[in-house]
A = this chain, B = another copy of it.
Amino acid sequence: MSGNSFGKIFRITTWGESHGQAVGVVVDGVPSGLPLEEEDVQVELNRRRPGKSEIETSRKERDKVRILSGVFDGKTLGTPIQMLVENEDVESGEYEKRKSKPRPGHADLTYKLKHGHVDYRGGGRASGRETVGRVAAGAIAKKLLDMKGIEILSHVVRAGGVGIEERPSIEEIRNVPEENNMKCADMDVASRMEKRVLEAENDGDSTGGVVEVLALGAPAGLGEPVFDKLDAEIAKALMSIGAVKGVEIGSGFESAERRGSEVNDSIRFKDGEIVFETNTAGGVLGGISSGAPLIARIAVKPTPSISKLQKTVDFETGENADLRLEGRFDPNICPRIVPVAESMMALVLADLMLRAGKINPDKLEGGK
């Protein structure tokens, strides 16, 4: 009820404030017998860790994960997996100074109105730091999906007003190099994006963009009719990421402009298998996976933390106030959303694979 949990069978609960002692996640519903070690999770946490490039906040965190339970002799037990990451770089002086002034575009104001007593340091639970738990849990979900031949990919398709024009191949998306700061599969577009992002940063401003997430190899039949449709679950999962203001599936908003004859994907038999001639549906029909690749895109708003002067209120004085933020911000959050978006997609699919009976909830085959 309190919103810190996600999933029904593969169910995670993230915990921890940005500037508290630690952040983490407990992952419940993982069947026994999945090989798992800390390094599997660490690899994914390293992908989301800040400070790797000029366009990311310089907050320094090693983000070393510890698995405290649920794994024995290198394999999961079917019991809750608790993972913990200590917070290290938690200077809070900057926050102290402006704790009575909610930052525009941030959750400061609404958390205050909802809970009264808040941890004003670094956004508390609304901080991007909460995604440590999501990504750690996502690493386990990915491992589980991998056993079933499902692969999750994500890449940036627009940023700073610049976007790809042609859809890159799966191979290109899969191989976006780690040193590609924008996580855009088209290297040329990536460098134009980065230029625009840095321009805005120099103006004390920030930019947004669009991130795409794909799932390959998901079997037909995932998703529950009516309210828990696959696309509805994906929409919720992705919209729950901070800064996301829109979600679309397949051709999404563009399909609203077209005609039925253009949008209905023709169905064909090919070598005894059912295939589609096109995939405007993004892999979902009637809320249930069709076997075609799942495709979703999210609109990411510009990072709300900017160094330009902004207008807000001051709860202490009860007056309007100006606010100029100082500190470390991501001028464009899209590349750092990539591993988070992958994690959310993985969490949705791991849960739906279990819900559809395609993974045994008690133990993996051969896990005896």
A interface residues with partner B (beta carbon < 8 Å): 1-6, 8-9, 11, 13-17, 20-24, 26, 28-29, 32-33, 66, 68-70, 72-73, 75-82, 84, 102, 104-111, 113-119, 124-126, 130, 158, 161, 200, 203-210, 220-221, 223-229, 231-240, 242, 245-253, 255-269, 274, 277, 281-282, 285-291, 299-306, 308, 310-313, 318-320, 355-357, 360-363, 367-368
Contacts and interface: CB of A to CB of B under 8 A. Distances in A.
B220 A288 contact: no
12 contacts: A3-B229, A4-B225, A21-B68, A24-B82, A77-B115, A78-B115, A111-B225, A114-B363, A207-B260, A256-B299, A264-B306, A269-B313
A320 B1 CA distance: 42
Nearest to A24: B82
A79 B15 contact: yes
Q: What number of copies of this chain does the assembly contain?
A: 4
Nearest to A356: B362
Contacts of A5: 11, 28, 227
Closest 5 CB pairs of A and B: A107-B286, A3-B224, A246-B248, A3-B228, A105-B264
Contacts of A113: 220-221, 274, 288, 290-291
A326 B247 CA distance: 34
Given A242-B286, A249-B246, A105 B304 contact: no
B68 A84 contact: yes
Contacts of A303: 260
A228 B114 CA distance: 14
B116 A33 contact: yes
A189 B245 CA distance: 27
A282 to B, nearest CB: 8
A223 B107 CA distance: 12
A302 B1 CA distance: 36
B229 A239 contact: yes
A322 to B, nearest CB: 10
Contacts of A233: 236
